[in-house]
Structure 1
Amino acid sequence: MSMSRVEFEEKCSAEGKICCFKLPELAEEAKILNDKMFDFNNERDFTKRQEIIKTIVKSIGENSVVFPPFRCSKGRFITIGNNTVININCYIIDGIPITIGNNVMIAANVSILGGTHSTDPVIRNYGTVYRRPITIEDGAWIGCGAKILPGVRIGKNAVVGAGSVVTHDIPDNMVAVGNPARVKRRVSEHPGWTIENRDVPLD
């Protein structure tokens, strides 16, 4: 069976090829998604919001919370693990897998940008985009206002400083800050810490 135009463009996107986003077939999909996001962002009841977000993203794990306002370009490519918190004003460009692990903290005003455009104006003005998957591993913390660019992997327990622009992978257990984000040091470790014994230095 031959592919639809949308299926063909999504196949191109998955293969890392340039694809076209100005398709009439996508207009209805965008309208439905926008209606869902409007409902989510204007719903006061927490439990109802949790049910709505399940209809927007591909999957969301147990005890995970997305705070409104929240925006995404497709939604159905976003996977969120367990015990993860996504704070206000998060913006995700998907259309390619965006994988957010368990115990991830995403602060306010973070942008996770899986799509971008060619710098060639002829290609760009035709209405094209290319996408690269983004993975945020378990235990990572993305600081306020950070921007995660296409194709990036944020490692397990890694920390991205507030306002940083992440253009390359961040290894596990490392702190990265700046524009572009650069690794500065390992994350702090306090192996003797317990909830009862909290007398450790802040950093």
Structure 2
Amino acid sequence: MTEKEKMLAGDHYFANDKELSAERLRAKKLLHRLNVTEYVFNGNSRNILRELLPNAHRHLYIEPPFHCDYGYNIHSGENVYFNVHCVVLDTMKITIGNNVFFGANVHIYAATHPLDAVSRRKTEFSKPVTIGNDCWIGGNTVICPGVTIGDGVTIGAGSVVTKNIPDNVLAAGNPARVIREL
């Protein structure tokens, strides 16, 4: 099994593998073009996004700067908006539904690390993240590995989402908790 196959399967893998390093470099070059050369959303930036995010719907809007590890693990529906300074560590599949809006500086992490210090020196692993339809994720929110956020959810600004959030609720805090139904 290759390191990439291990990564995508959620097994421990060596992140500095030659193939994975090359894929991250490719993403960084595309991100440089998006974040520095273009910096405004236009036809050129749309072409860059199609290449960087082949599994994202064409009605995706990203306000630069934006960062991701690979790009191809981001699967998004229609009408998705990322405000400035969003980070998506897509070492495993990140699924985003339709009509999802991310405030500034939202971070989504699929990547995580072993708790054992010796193991952490050489490997990491991933857990998928899923965000349902019609969600609003407030600015400065962190969504941790393995989390599922249901449909129709609003996450308050500054939240740290460490556990699954059910459909149609307002959740906020650190750690995020359900405040009320919507």
Tell me which interval the TM-score lies in, with the shorter structure as reference length: over 0.9
Aligned residue type for 1:85: Y
From 10, 13, 16, give the equivalent of 1:16.
10
Aligned with residue 109 of structure 2, among 101, 107, 113: 113
User: In the alignment, which residue of structure 2 is the partner of 1:168?
Assistant: 163
Amino-acid identity (%): 38
- Measured against aligned partners, the alpha-carbon deviations of 1:13-70 in whole angstroms (never above 9, x if no partner) come to 3333211112133332222211110001120452211111111113222432111100
Q: For 2:67, what is the secondary structure of its paired residue?
A: strand
Match of 1:191 in 2: none
Matching residue of 1:196: none
Q: Quick check: 1:104 aligned with 2:111?
A: no
Q: Distance in 2 between matches of 1:62 and 1:94?
A: 19
Cα distance in structure 2, aligned partners of 1:163 and 1:78: 22
CA distance in 1, matches of 2:92, 2:24: 16
List gaps (5 residues or longer) in structure 2.
Answer: none
Matched residue type, 1:114? A
Q: Secondary structure at 1:60's aligned position in 2?
A: coil
Deviations 1:88-112 (A, max 9, x none): 1110001210011100011100000
- Trace 1:21-170 onto structure 2 (pairs within 5 A): 21-42=15-36, 43=38, 44=40, 46-126=42-122, 128-170=123-165
Q: CA deviation at 1:141?
A: 0.7
Which TM-score applies when normalising by structure 2?
Answer: 0.93
The answer on whether the counterparts of 2:67 and 2:87 sit within 8 Å (CA) in structure 1 is yes
Moved segments of 4+, more than 4 Å? none
Runs of at least 5 residues in structure 1 that lack an aligned partner in the other structure: 188-203
Tell me if structure 1 keeps the 8 A contact 2:50–2:58: no
Q: CA deviation at 1:10?
A: 2.8
**Cα RMSD after superposing both structures:** 1.4
Shift of 1:115: 0.6
TM, length-normalised to structure 1: 0.84
In the alignment, the residues of structure 2 paired with residue 160 and residue 66 of structure 1 have an alpha-carbon distance, to the nearest angstrom, of: 19
Equivalent-residue separation in structure 2 for 1:115 and 1:133 (angstroms): 9
Q: Deviations over 1:75-132 (max 9, x none)?
A: 1110111011111111000121001110001110000000111121100112x11100
Cα distance change of structure 1 residues 62 and 35 upon mapping to structure 2, 3 Å threshold: closer
The aligned amino acid for 1:75 is: G
